[in-house]
Chains A and B, each alone.
Chain A
């Protein structure tokens, strides 16, 4: 059984601070996706990483896929209250058909 360990589970920080969320597994994934979910909404895809060692930036968010494609991190610089939400990592397997396994999520709260 493939498992994705996501940490931390909860994070409460002040506006302007930096943070990193981690997603680790003993399994190799074909891709790793990060989602953000706000209350009352479905998860929204932020980024997909597919190559070991890949780094992608989305404004103040930096995503990294581990060299062995078993782990990933999301780093947010100078967090803002608008970054508040549930962040989910998901490992892709089984080709391009969307089979995903989700981490437990990180609930981020950024206080002004």
Chain B
């Protein structure tokens, strides 16, 4: 199974600022996924990060708010821009191998 390192594990940020979350995988993967998990809720897919092309965003999520980079097959970043308290959530990156999804430990973001 893939080993995924995500950082930071948590952060407290001021509203109006931006935070970039990094995700490193121990093997090359075609697609990486970014999820949001609001307090007490399930996972909602934000976007799929493809190497060499723009990320594909789900309904309700836009590139200006959540820009994503995917410079190579083992790394991706998600930026949460111009943050507001409503962005307080856990953000998770995920990869798929042979039809199974594996997750990083998540980034717990609190916006004050």
Contact = CB atoms under 8 A, between A and B. Distances in A.
Interface of A: 6, 30-31, 33, 40-45, 48, 50, 88, 90, 92, 95-100, 102-105, 107
A31 B42 contact: no
Given A88-B42, A105-B41, A100 B101 contact: yes
Given A88-B42, A102-B42, A96 B96 contact: yes
Interface residues of B, number: 29
Of the listed residues B41, B45, B48, B100, the one surrounded by the most CB atoms of chain A closer than 10 A to its CB is B100
A105 B38 CA distance: 12
Contacts, number: 63
A92 B45 CA distance: 13
7 contacts: A40-B9, A41-B106, A42-B105, A43-B92, A48-B100, A98-B97, A105-B42
Interface of B: 1, 4, 6, 9, 30-31, 33, 40-45, 48, 92, 94-106, 108
Contacts of B102: 45
